[in-house]
Amino acid sequence: MKIYDQIDSLQLALSSYRKQKKIGFVPTMGALHMGHLSLVRRALKENSCVVVSIFVNPTQFDNKTDLEKYPRTLAQDVSLLRTLKGTILIFSPEVSQLYPNKITSTQYHFGSIASQMEGKYRKGHFNGVGTIVRLLLKAVQPHTAYFGEKDFQQLQIIKKLVALEKLPVKISGCAIVREKSGLALSSRNSRLSQKQREEATLIFHTLTEVRKKFKTHSIAQLNQLVAERFLNSSLKLEYFEIANEITLRTAERKRKNNKYRAFIAAFAGSVRLIDNMPLN
């Protein structure tokens, strides 16, 4: 396992794999956990070589404090990756490698999927995501890139990006990995106190309750149920939405043959947590 901080040296190392073997790619912002490792394991199973990028991307943060507080644990991340069997190359560049001139986002036209949920509350976020993913895909040039479904809206955005840019890569979505309590694994969980971690399980329990009652309750009733669950909680609910899984548009009532997914964003203190769950 070797760490590369230059695009040229990474591409040179990958050149021996490119002609006859498949290259997988798992982009991360570091602070790795078992959710990330599940992506890497799947990539190793399906490819001969896997690149794991570790880069905290400044253009996808709309909150400067959040960017500054985002955990950076490269040494621990490398140690964790060493527990896996297979050929892994780590790409951990400086900001200047990916943004040599100016740290700025490309403006994309992702359509209505970018204006829902996260798009409403994090202005410019998806332009930042699209910018860094395109830069990383061009640097690595993988056959397949792997993304977790915890960021389901982001996954849809990246699929749209690949279509818009006509990038020769397959985007593979992977299931959410959870703690035993149900809390979705996230790098931000490391910033939670033990009490906050316990209280944050409300997110999973609420989504589970919504899924169980989806057939028998209207969307308006489910929205009210979620509001009540958070009313006396220490968590601050930012949004809860039931949306069409394909268009991501907020659903006001259920329609036949449509797939729906519930989405939540909530704060535990200053830590923002997101989660989602398919409903039918």
Residues identified as active-site: 36
Distance CA 197, CA 190 (A): 9
Distance CA 142, CA 151 (A): 21
Both tokens of 151, joined, read 């960021």
Distance CA 32, CA 224 (A): 36
**Helix/strand number for the chain, H first, E second:** 11, 9
Q: Which residues, 6+ apart, have CB-to-CB distance to 224 below 8 Å? A: none
Q: Which residues, 6+ apart, have CB-to-CB distance to 72 below 8 Å? A: 30, 31, 56
Residues of 68-82 as b/e, b for ≥16 C-beta within 10 angstroms? Answer: eebbeeeeebbebbe
Cβ atoms 51, 17 nearer than 8 A = no
